[in-house]
Structure 1
Amino acid sequence: MQVLDFPQYSFRIKNSEKGYQIFDIIRKKFVMVQPEEWVRQHVIHYLTETKKYPKSLVNVEKQLVVNQMKKRYDVVVYDSKGAITLLVECKAPEVKISQSTFDQIARYNLLLNAEYLMVTNGLNHYYCKMDQEREKYQFLKEIPDFSR
């Protein structure tokens, strides 16, 4: 599997007749290891192990409706009051992060109103803090660690 620009994490991986599967610590089940899923699993471990966000506040791959179309976000993190604090869009490593990627996460965030956005293909990471009132965002070097 491709080495990504994240700290090294320990994953539970098994080989099945369908191919390699990785254990998702949020969904509590094995899922197929596709390139985007490999990135998503690194993001989950990055958020829970490195940034110390509680697993109970992390949600993975849920459906939302954008312009009457069913879409799925990759990862969201809630704050202790239940508001979405972080929205993450994951792409496969071979997918270049482009303006359309930022447009996609911005459309999702119109519904979700996350304070922070993260876009990654596992090799390049972009972090933003949203200013909802002025409808702008500011790029950050890093997202904040979890704080109560």
Structure 2
Amino acid sequence: MIVDRYPYLNLSLNFPEIDLQLKEEEGKLSVFDSLRKKYLVLTPEEWVRQHMIQFLTQFKEYPRSLFALEKGLQYNSLQKRFDILILNRHGNPFLLIECKAPEVSLSHKTLEQVCMYNKTINAEFIGISNGLKHLFFKFDENNFRYEQLPGLPKFS
């Protein structure tokens, strides 16, 4: 059975019911990414990323056309990749989200990772999620630090 080989599929993530298209080929499970229009190898982190994408587009009405996924960026001469970036209607970075596998706890290190990426991207908001917990932040320019928000920033 598929869930026996991929136990994270049986985890109850902290999202509304989301139907993802899965397929197994040559012993590998893939999930359909509706934004990139292709199947991707399903890892625990990809499971969370795809849930987050569907949650934002289906339930929170974030425009699909303003998403950038797993793009490269350079930070201190290191090549990195962010998970999800949503642009605002003017094409400027609005929300940068780093996704982790459900078994990865959201720690200060996780927050530092997305903050480091955001030094290059300069999104208005940042977020981290392991599918079980989601945390969102806004940079407070007066105090030069990130302040936690009560929830997901509303797209406007």
TM-score range, shorter chain: over 0.9
TM-score (norm 1): 0.94
Give the CA deviation at 1:144.
2.6
Unaligned runs of 5+ in 1: none
Task: Say whether residues 1:23 and 2:62 are aligned partners.
Answer: no
Task: Quote the RMSD (CA, aligned, Å).
Answer: 1.2
1:88 aligns with 2:100: no
Residue 133 (structure 1) shift:
5.3
Decide which of 59, 78, 81 is 2:87's aligned counterpart.
78
Instruction: Normalising by structure 2, report the TM-score.
Output: 0.90
1:100 is aligned with what amino acid? K
Aligned residues: 147
Asked if 1:35 corresponds to 2:40, the answer is no
Gapped regions of structure 2 (runs ≥ 5): 1-8
Amino acid at match of 2:77: Q
Measured in 2, the distance between the counterparts of 1:41 and 1:131 equals 29
CA distance in 2: counterparts of 1:67 and 1:116, whole angstroms: 22
Offset at residue 11 of structure 1 (A): 1.0
Name the counterpart of 2:73.
64
> Quick one: percent identity of the two aligned structures?
42
Shift of 1:124: 1.1
Match of 1:46 in 2: 55
Matched, 1:6 2:15: yes
Equivalent-residue separation in structure 1 for 2:125 and 2:59 (angstroms): 17
Q: Which amino acid aligns with 1:51?
A: K
3-state SS of paired residue (1:21): strand
131-140 vs 83-92, which moves further: 131-140
Which residue type is aligned with residue 124 of structure 1? K
Instruction: String of CA shifts for 1:10-42, please: whole Å, max 9, x gaps.
Output: 111111114111100111100011000000001
Cα shift readout 1:86-122 (whole Å, capped 9, x = no counterpart): 0000000111111111111111000111111110111
* Partners of 1:86 and 1:115 within 8 A in 2: yes
Cα deviation for residue 131 of structure 1 reads 2.4
- Hey, which bits of structure 1, 4+ residues long, moved more than 6 A? none
In the TM superposition, what is the alpha-carbon distance from 1:51 to its structure 2 partner?
1.2
Which is higher, the Rg of structure 1 or of structure 2? 2
Which has the higher mean CA deviation after the structures are superposed, 112-121 or 134-143? 134-143
Q: 1:101 aligns with which of 110, 113, 118?
A: 110
Residue 131 (structure 2) pairs with residue 122 (structure 1): yes
